[in-house]
Each structure stands twice: as C-alpha cells, then as structure tokens.
Structure 1
Amino acid sequence: MSIESNSHAEERCSLSEISPLEAILFDVDGTLCDSDPIHFDVFREMLPEFGFNGGVPITEEFYVENIAGKHNDEMCSILFPNWDHERAHKFAEEKEARFRKLAPERLVPVDGLYKLRKWIEDRGLKRGAVTNAPRPNTELMISHLGLSDFFQTVVLGSECERAKPFPDPYLKGLQELKASPSHTLVFEDSASGIKAGVAAGLPVIGITTRNPPHTLLEAGATFLIKDYYDPKLWKALEELETRASNAEAGA
C-alpha cells in the first residue's frame, strides 16, 4: 500500500504546549500492533461470501478509505446500507471471530513499542488505551503484546455515547486517568482516531503503519512517525523533558 503524499498539510513537530507531560493515550489496532493486514484479509474473504461488489474482493485502497479505523456500526452502514441492525451485527460478530482466530499467529508489536513502554514506566506517566475495537479483540491484542499490566485504563468506543471520530472515548480516557488534556499526548494510526483526539483537545502523533500520511496530517496530526524508534519522536520527547526541567529549575 503506497504511503506517498503530496498533501499541503504541514507537520508542527512540537509538543511544547503539553509540558510537563503527565499521561499518554494509545489507540490499539495499527498503533500498538500492525493488525490491519489481518482485518484486510478477513474482509477480502468474507465480503464476496455476502455478494459485496459482485463477489470481487476489495482492494487495499478501498479498505483504507472505507473501513480502516471505523467502528463496526459505521463500517456496516457503509458496506451494507440496506441491512437491518441484526443482520449487520451478525456480520460484524463473524468478522471479529475470524480476526481473533488469525490474530495470535500474526500479531507483532509496532517497532520500538517496548522502548517507549520503558520510557513511560520509568517516568511514572499515566497511560491508557482508547479504541474502537470490540472488547474481546482489545483484550486479545493487549494480552498478546504483554501489555495487560501496562495500561491503567482501557476505553472502548462502543461503551461511550459516541465512538471515534467523536471525542467521547478520549474524553472518557482523560476522566478515568484523572489526566489534564493540557498535559496528555495521543498516539494514533487512523484519520478517524486522530480526529477524535484532536476534537478532545489533544495533540496527536500519527503513526504511518498503513494509512497514507496525507490523510493523517489532514485529520490534524501534530506530526508523523514511522514507528516508535523514529528519531523525530525521541527528539520531541527530549525537548519536552528539557522544557519541563527548565521550568522546574526556574520555579
């Protein structure tokens, strides 16, 4: 999948407005692990079974534009606008079951995730996961990645009044962590998730795991990184620490 971009959206590359940093919120799918290829394969297998697109499997471009990052109700309304809720729910349940069957053998963490985890733990920062994924999927992914004891809260879009791209899940995450939006950072990989974080008043770092960079910037990402080893990320975090230390010394 190409991630080339000719977008006029610009990276701001600074997190200075959140100094000192107190909390970090993560999306799960595509942000902690590169799960999109598994979801894509499931959709390519299932949709022809339901006669979608005349039985022709979807492309990666279609998946990114119409499915990636969306919660199941929104996804079903796009794919099958004439279906009733019960039929759409059964399709979504089957899709998630197939994902969970494939996931344990194929899920791997985004590069550098455990380096960032150690950095967060060493500084005693609050941390939460905020996702549109169903609870069984979320628990499987977090457990498989060895992060069950890392996150202090896990917020699901389906358990909020509105899921991403609305800000409700991120606002709930802040509330549960008792964290200030002025001192909290978000990591996201989809335009839908970035829009949710921005709408909640949070700076969002976009990860170009699968989605085109221009869509992430247009959604409002502060800047983009390839993975958690990206020097751009560590430069920004170092600048945050320096700013916080200077402020403390001058107090």
Structure 2
Amino acid sequence: MKKFLLFDNDGVLVETEKWYYEANKKSLREIDVDLEFDVYMEIMARGGTAWEVAQKNGHSKAVIDEQRRRRDSYYQEFISSMHIEIEGVLDVLEELSHEYKMGIVTTSRREDFELIHSQREIVKFMDFTLCVEEYPRAKPYADPYLAGMKKFDASQKECLVIEDSQRGLSAAVNAGIECAVVENEFTATHDFSSATYRIKKLCELPTLLESLKG
C-alpha cells in the first residue's frame, strides 16, 4: 500500500516548463543560436542542458555563463508574470493530505522554487521540498528520489512518484520507485514506456491510489 507521494514540481503542480524553454530560447538567441523545440525536448529527456547547443556553436564558457545568468533572469520574469496554475491541483492535494504524506522533489533551483510558490498554497500540503541544490546529482539520476524516500524513512514499495517528463521518470525507475506519469502536452514526445501508471490529469490520482489499495 502506498503511504508516501513524491511529486515533481514543474509540469505536475505548476505549468512552468514552457517558460523555462522560452527563457533558454531568448537567451541563446542573443548570441545568434536558435534553440529548436525538438532539440530542446531531446536534451531535456536525457537530462542534458540547453547550453550544449551554444558549445557546439563555439561559444566560450564566459559567454555561456553570462547568457545562463540572463536566462535565469528571464525565467524569473516569466514565472512572476505568466499564468502557471494548473486547475484543480489544490483540490487534489487537499484530498490526498488526509491519507498520505507528501513531498516535492524538483530539479528547480531553490531561488526559482521559492519565487514560484511564494504566492501559492501548494507547499502547505507538503512535509518537505527538495530542490536541485539539496542532493548530489539531478534527474535522471536516482539521487533526488532516494533523498525524498530517505526524508520519509520509507521503502520503495511505500512510495509513488508523480512525474511528467522522461528525465523524471528515469530518476524514479533508477531509484526503484513506481511512477505515475501525468500527461502534459509539453512533454508529449517523451518515452514513458517504463511508467508504472499513466493518468491524463492530476485529478485522476486519488482514483488511481484508491485502486492500489486492493
């Protein structure tokens, strides 16, 4: 029986992935590098970085570091001003909080994560949040979800990961934890063949969990 839920953040609880792409695209365009969507999707699926494209175009580390800084600034502008709510998330978390312990495990920087959630109530349902600075290696490595499991002092069988990306799914699989993938148009091209469960929207999660009680 599942007792602990480990949620990805971007694309599962808030709709931010599009804006991270747009921030990368805008910053790279300033150094005459075009970041095509399908290229970006391939990079994100395997856990790479958009700056690979800049490196292939011969840009120096100093230039890339400056554009990365600008990307971070653009991203924060986007997440501060754009509509990133996903309908029904709070209702689902409220329902699940009566029966499950929950945490967020994200590859977001803590600075960005706090900005996203400063005016939202999502984290009040969570026992903890883990950002990229708080474990050794990011998704698709197992480290993030192993750290989340350790926070709960739980076994793999007691946990369920909720993800929307191939990279996140790989992290769950590498950690030996079952994963429910929520459909997301932004990551529709990713390979989710190793997912244990598939749901169309987060609002289907309580029904899925009920069915797992046997």
TM-score, normalization by structure 2: 0.87
Structure 1 residues 106 and 67: alpha-carbon distance in aligned structure 2, compared to 1, 3 A threshold: same
Q: Which segment is superposed worse, 22-31 or 61-70?
A: 61-70
1:1-51 deviation per Cα after TM superposition (whole angstroms, max 9, x unaligned): xxxxxxxxxxxxxxxxxx1x2110111111111112212222232211012
CA contact (8 A) 2:14 2:84 kept: yes
CA RMSD, Structure 1 to Structure 2 (Å)? 2.3
Q: Match for residue 137 of structure 1?
A: 112
Q: Match for residue 152 of structure 2?
A: 177
Runs of 4+ in structure 1 deviating by more than 6 angstroms, as ranges, are: none
Deviation at 1:151, TM superposition (A): 1.9
CA contact (8 A) 2:90 2:121 kept: no
Map 1:186-205 to 2 at 5 A.
186-205=161-180
Q: Rg larger in 1 or in 2?
A: 1
Q: Residue 124 of structure 2: which of 140, 149, 166 is its match?
A: 149
Q: How many residues align?
A: 211
Asked whether 1:111 is paired with 2:117, we answer no
Q: Residue 95 of structure 1: which of 52, 71, 74 is its match?
A: 71
Structure 1 residues 168 and 86: alpha-carbon distance in aligned structure 2, compared to 1, 3 A threshold: farther
Residue identity (%): 24
Q: Match for residue 225 of structure 1?
A: 199
Q: Match for residue 209 of structure 2?
A: 237
- Structure 1 portions without partners, runs of 5+: 1-18, 244-251
Q: Match for residue 13 of structure 1?
A: none
Asked whether 1:41 is paired with 2:18, we answer no
Q: Distance in 1 between matches of 2:122 and 2:107?
A: 18
Q: Which segment is superposed worse, 42-51 or 75-84?
A: 75-84
CA contact (8 A) 1:111 1:229 kept: no
- Structure 2 portions without partners, runs of 5+: none
Structure 1 residues 128 and 90: alpha-carbon distance in aligned structure 2, compared to 1, 3 A threshold: farther
Structure 1 residues 88 and 132: alpha-carbon distance in aligned structure 2, compared to 1, 3 A threshold: farther
